[in-house]
Amino acid sequence: MAPAVARTGETMKSANFSSGDIFDVSGSVVIVTGGASGLGLSIAEVMAANDARVLLLDIDQARLDECQARFRAARLALDVAILDVADIPALQGAIHAAAERYGRIDAVFANAGISAGSGPFTEFGQIANVREEDWNRVLQINLTAVFATIQAASIHMKRQRGGRIVVTSSVAGLRAERHVGYAYVATKAAVVNLVRHAAIELAEFGVCVNGIAPGPILTNIAGGKLKDPDIAKPYIANVPLARLGDPDEIKGLALLLGSRASSFITGTTIAIDGGMTAW
Ligand SMILES: NC(=O)c1ccc[n+]([C@@H]2O[C@H](COP(=O)([O-])OP(=O)(O)OC[C@H]3O[C@@H](n4cnc5c(N)ncnc54)[C@H](O)[C@@H]3O)[C@@H](O)[C@H]2O)c1
């Protein structure tokens, strides 16, 4: 059987190999969950700067308003909608409404996620102290909502016979990570296999499903705690490049995975971690 991506006509054969062509996302419809801050915002910026039509879904109205003002000032196309991804019917409804409104969905970044607090080497991060309500909230946002995002987006992408789904995992999903909580590592590992599973089912429809696994990046996660140099220090000690990442550094990978440049990449999770997982 011929590879599915060949059937969609999305292979590099039809491109002229100039980077402008293979990374061209102009006119694409892109949805980013958790897009009002940090990595999601950088993903939205790079897609919009390359003339994609971007819809941000986020729980934080104030940040969504700020994003709209910034994008408007830069003359970039942006739509926003307030949404708690933990509300699965609302999440899937927003994705279906976007497909209806724009006529298609080219790329979805299932990026919204929350930290699960401290890791097992702190008093409240120890296994005996993990609270059921915290566990359930993290699972709902970091895992169930990611599944629901893939489920809803895939309906439209199968019909279109093409699309890109990109899930934000973490290096904490690829290896043990002493600084973060149990529910976080469990969900971030779970989505790595969810990506593989969805990728094999959706391959014949030309839909590529991949993950990104960031190392420590200076965002507002966990209340922006990495902005405190004392808190950041032990994280940096695990990074061969010996620094935190900047949210802007996600842009190249986002554009790769959200464009036809990644036409033969599916089912994988790519670390973007300053070398952390090489150790
Ligand atoms: N920053 C890091 O070091 C790091 C490392 C590995 C993985 N990640 C992952 O990257 C993703 C983005 O995190 P970030 O670091 O940019 O954090 P961030 O806090 O800066 O941004 C997360 C965004 O998600 C939104 N959000 C949170 N809960 C939501 C919900 N229930 N519904 C809708 N939106 C919601 C927030 O309002 C915020 O705008 C997360 O999945 C996170 O686990 C981050």
Rounded alpha-carbon distances, angstroms, from residue 263 to 4, 6, 180: 10, 9, 34
- Mean pLDDT computed over 202-208: 98
Tokens of residue 199, six digits: 């990728």
Q: What is the pLDDT of residues 71-127, one digit of tens each?
A: 999 999 899 999 999 999 999 999 999 999 999 999 999 999 999 788 888 888 899
164 CA → ligand 1 middle, Å: 20
Q: What one-character DSSP code corresponds to residue 144? A: I
Higher-confidence position of 160 and 12: 160
Residues with CB under 6 A from ligand 1: 33-34, 36-40, 58-60, 63, 83-86, 111-114, 141, 168, 170, 214, 216-217, 219-221
Residue 182 bears catalytic tag: no
Q: Strand, coil or helix: what is 201? A: helix
- Mean pLDDT computed over 235-255: 97
Q: What is the pLDDT of residues 43-74, one digit of tens each?
A: 999 999 999 999 999 999 999 999 999 999 99
The structural domains of the chain, ordered by start, are 19-278 (3.40.50.720)
Residue 7 pLDDT level (bands cut at 50, 70, 90) = very low
**Nearest C-alpha neighbor of 263 from the set 21, 73, 85:** 21
pLDDT for position 63:
98
Pairwise CA distance, residues 236 & 161, whole Å: 42
Nearest atom within ligand 1 for CA of residue 219: 20
